[in-house]
Structure formats: structure tokens, C-alpha cells
Amino acid sequence: MSDLYELYQRRASVRKFKPEPLREGDLDKLLLAAQRAPTDATAQMYSLLRISNPALRKEISSHSGQNPHIETCAEFFLILADVYRLRRLLERRGGTFGRWPRTALHFAITDAVLAGSALATMAESLGYGIVWIGGVLNGIREIVRLCKLPQGVIPVAGLCVGVPDESPSPRPRLPRGLVVHENQYHDYSPEELEQAYTAMAPITRSGDWYRVLERYFAQGGTMEEREPAYQVLTARQGFEPDLPPELLEKLEEKEIEAGSLGQLIEAAFTGGFRSLQFHSKGYVWVEKEPEAYRGDGPPGEALAKALLQSPKERVIP
């Protein structure tokens, strides 16, 4: 096993793999590393979904952008944030799962990344190549459906592991002073920001890292494209405080989709409702003259219930 310091000095993501399986016994080592990772309150709010079926890999790949290595690597895992098993464990002994959707998302993603990262580092220390696949977010809803992920579970990323068929040079990183703060967060001077661009320039052929950032993170970029589906999916999987996932599932049958209470209100107006009345006594009226529908409960739940009572053809214009 190689020295970790050296490993991190030379490591780089690998996207070309030899058509060879892992050596016997190594899969077990990877899974051991994942399971030995630290985990919040011993809860282990993650799962690893090993995709061994080539046809399923192909389908997942087709929903994951330009990532053919999903099909060519020896092992492909979906790294899942998962509070479903935790719910099952609590309910098994008569407990009731609490309402902490945002905190659940926070710690489940943390646990999932720690497990995936331990697995990846173990793989690299054994001489394999790895690459994380955030591209699974491009087709996150299709992947959730294909893999039958229950409420409480969302893909965080994919992870390819295999025998490398390339040895890419390590990619640059930001100057340490921009990433490591001491005692208080310091803001960045224009000069420091320019140093960042200079340091990262070799990452692109054009020598302009701004182009990469713009393509992914600026207005109209990839992240904005992913956002609506991710909002709807996380709500549907139970991570949105205002909207009960069971009601969202039923609303989908009426072709009403929302990832937040604000989006549900917009969907109602788009669907032709002229007014929504939220009452302090815990109910909502939605009105589309000459009819009106009532739902009870906290605002999001009440609105969803009211919309569910209206006939489908009246909701979708």
C-alpha cells in the first residue's frame, strides 16, 4: 500500500479504464473502507448501490451526460444519501421518525461523501483509478426510478473504479491561502482572485479557467439546468420541510410538480386558480370560480390537499 502523502501528491481522476475486473478480494477492501468511514451519531445515513448489471449501467450512463467511463470501469457505484433505513430501524422498535428534513439532507450527504471518499482513497491506494460522477444529477429522476430508490434516498454522485488505462497529470488547485482561513473568514482581494485564475489556467486548453466556471456555474450554466429537477426530486424524496412527499407523489399524477411551497403556489396560479387563501386556523382555500376547494393542515400540506381535490383537467389549462 502506498504512502498517503505521496498518493495525494500524484493522484488524478481516471476516465479511461482497461476492460479488467478488480483483483480478487479488492472489492471487499473498498467496501470495508467505506463502512469504516466516520458517520454522524453512528447512524450511517448512506447506502452504496453497486451497479453490476451492464444494461442498467448503460441506461444510467445515458442519463448522466458525457460520461462513457460509467460503462467501461470495473465497478460503478451510486453513492446515496439515505435516511430510509434509519426510519425503518426506528419504526421497527415502535419509534416515530422526527421532522428534520433539511438536517437529514445535510448529514446524509455528509455520511455518503465520507463513505464514498474512503472507498475512493482505498481504491487509489490499491493502484486503481477512480472518478466521481456528478453527471448523475442530469438525469436524477430517471435514475431514482430505474434504481427504485425509496423516499428518504437520493443519489449524491456516481463513483467509477477500475484498472487505469491512462495516467493523467495531477490537476492544479487554488493557492492554499484562498482555501485555508485562520480564526475568521477573510474576504478575497482582486489580486488573490486573479492568482486563482492564474493557478487554475492549465486546467483548460484555452488557458482560461473562467470559461469552465461560466459553463457550469454562471447564469444559464449546467448547475442552473440541474436545479429544477433536483428541487422537485429532493422534495419528492422527503427533504423539503413544507411539503409532505406522499402528497407530492399524488400531485404528480395530476401533472403538478413543485420543489417548494413557493413553486406549488406558482403551479396553482399557472393551473388557473385565481386566489389562494391561507387561514391562520390551519386551512387553505383555493378558488377557481365558480368552484373552490379546501385543504387542512400546515400551509404546504393544506395547499397540496386542496389542489388534490380539484379535478385534473381544471388544474392543467
Ligand X SMILES: Cc1cc2nc3c(=O)[nH]c(=O)nc-3n(C[C@H](O)[C@H](O)[C@H](O)COP(=O)(O)O)c2cc1C
The contact set with ligand X (CB under 6 A) reads 12-13, 15, 67, 131-135, 157, 171
- Do 114 and 34 form a contact (C-beta atoms < 8 A)? no
C-alpha cell at 22: 478488480
* Shortest distance in whole angstroms from residue 177 CB to ligand X: 19
Q: Which is nearer to ligand X, 224 or 266 (CB)?
A: 224
Backbone torsions φ then ψ of 277, nearest 5 degrees: -115, 120
Which residue's beta carbon is nearest to the bound ligand X?
Answer: 134
Q: Which is nearer to ligand X, 67 or 234 (CB)?
A: 67
C-alpha cell at 188: 478575497
- Do 261 and 248 form a contact (C-beta atoms < 8 A)? no
* Shortest distance in whole angstroms from residue 79 CB to ligand X: 9
Q: Which is nearer to ligand X, 117 or 260 (CB)?
A: 117
The whole-angstrom separation of Cα 129 and Cα 115 is 17
Q: Which is nearer to ligand X, 132 or 197 (CB)?
A: 132
* Shortest distance in whole angstroms from residue 175 CB to ligand X: 16
Q: For the beta carbon of residue 72, count every other beta carbon within 10 angstroms.
A: 17
Q: Which is nearer to ligand X, 9 or 189 (CB)?
A: 9
Hey, is 79 helix, strand or coil?
strand
Preceding amide of 290 cis, omega within 30: yes
* Shortest distance in whole angstroms from residue 66 CB to ligand X: 8
* Shortest distance in whole angstroms from residue 94 CB to ligand X: 38
